Amino acid sequence: MQVEKLNLPGFNAFRVSFSSARKPIVIARASDINAVRFWTSIPEGRQQEAEGVGALIEEYLNSSK
């Protein structure tokens, strides 16, 4: 998996390319109306992948601090 941080003002967003034939995904950290943060795909439609990959990115970022 190759992860590239995107420079989107106000968002933590990443473009993720997989080592398999799966298409790349762009994911971003967002908040719902109750201020609960979650990972989502841009465009929408790959939510399950966004949550899984987002959790891996978050784990990596937290471990490198």
Q: What are the pLDDT tens digits along the chain (65 aa)? A: 899 999 988 888 999 999 999 999 999 999 899 999 999 999 889 999 999 999 999 999 889 76
Report the predicted TM-score, pTM, of the whole model to 2 decimal places: 0.84
User: Count of CB atoms within 10 A of residue 57's CB?
Assistant: 19
As given in the structure block, the two tokens for residue 31 are 């908040």
Residues 4-14 pLDDT 10s: 999 988 888 99
* b/e per residue 23-48 (b: at least 16 CB within 10 A): eebbbbbeeeeeeeeebbbbeeebee
DSSP state of 23: P
DSSP state of 25: E
